Amino acid sequence: MVSTSRRTLADDIVRALKAEIRGGSYAPGSRLPTEAELCRRFGVSRATVRGAVKELDVLGLVRTQHGVGTFVTPRPAVRDGLERMGSITESIRASGKIPGHEYARRTLRPLLPDEAERMGVPPDTEVLELRRRITADGDVVAYSYDLIPRSLLPERFDPEELTGSVFAYFENRLGIHPTLGMAKVHAVESVHIAWGPDAGKHRLFILLDQLHYDRTHRMLAYSRTYFVEGAYEFHLVRTSD
């Protein structure tokens, strides 16, 4: 959950209810069990249940009504969008296609001064530079350019072992969980971005110029991802108070 510590009882309940809601156990708009019932079911006090429900409320999964009950919010068709941090690979797989990665460059080099400033790290930091293409069912979806601080990588790091999703590598190999991304969005038209067999074929892109952090605000990576216009569905859920 949001807090830093281990796992609290409320967290467990949040996870359980999240899974049920997303899994469709409750029809959209239907009532959640009352707090008293949830107490019995999870064997915790009402204070704990209230904490969990409060979180689901703030997250927008449910809505509470004083004196009535709490209801699962009828979500529009698209659940998560661009505002949700997540692996591109994963979202491709979710759309029923098979993701692929083709690496063109995996080299260690010192950071240039302007890059260091953009990333907010010392100028002499050593980074791993990646260039790759991300594909879905063989079609190029995005051209990506990433810089990852050497200090995050294992002592004995072999660039060859980085073959698939960078996101998955962080999660599974390094035990690092990217949870925050700060991106700038641009429309880009250029024939110099695409390379490989499709060089020059794509020329219109959505650029995500992005800094990645974990929950402690440690800088994890700087990436520029050029999504081929039309090849990737970009959704965005926007909210206000």
| Residues forming the site for DNA (CB under 7 A) | 3, 5-6, 8-11, 32, 34-36, 43-48, 50-51, 53, 64-70
| Residue 229 interacting with its own copies (CB under 8 A) | yes
- For 232, list phi and psi in degrees, rounded to 5: -135, 130
Closest CA to 52 of 70, 66, 76: 70
Per DSSP, the three-state class of 175 is coil
- C-beta closer to its own copies: residue 34 or 107: 34
Q: Please report how close the Cβ of residue 37 comes to DNA at its closest, in angstroms.
A: 8
Radius of gyration of the chain from Cα atoms?
A: 21
Q: Please report how close the Cβ of residue 183 comes to its own copies at its closest, in angstroms.
A: 4
| Residue 185 interacting with its own copies (CB under 8 A) | yes
* Token duo for residue 188: 């880009």
Q: What span, in angstroms and rounded, lies between the C-alpha atoms of 117 and 147?
A: 13
Q: Please report how close the Cβ of residue 31 comes to DNA at its closest, in angstroms.
A: 7
CB 196 within 8 A of CB 144: no
Q: Residue 200 binds what, of its own copies, DNA, none (CB under 5 to 8 Å, by partner type)?
A: none
CB 62 within 8 A of CB 140: no
Q: What span, in angstroms and rounded, lies between the C-alpha atoms of 126 and 182?
A: 22
- C-beta closer to DNA: residue 13 or 220: 13
What would the x/- binding string for its own copies be over residues 37 to 76, using CB under 8 A? ----------x--xx--xx-xxxx--xxxx------xx-x
Neighbours of 153 (CB within 10 A): 19
- Positions in the binding site for its own copies (CB under 8 A): 1-6, 8, 47, 50-51, 54-55, 57-60, 63-66, 73-74, 76, 78, 81-86, 177-189, 204-206, 208, 210-211, 213, 217, 229-230, 233-241
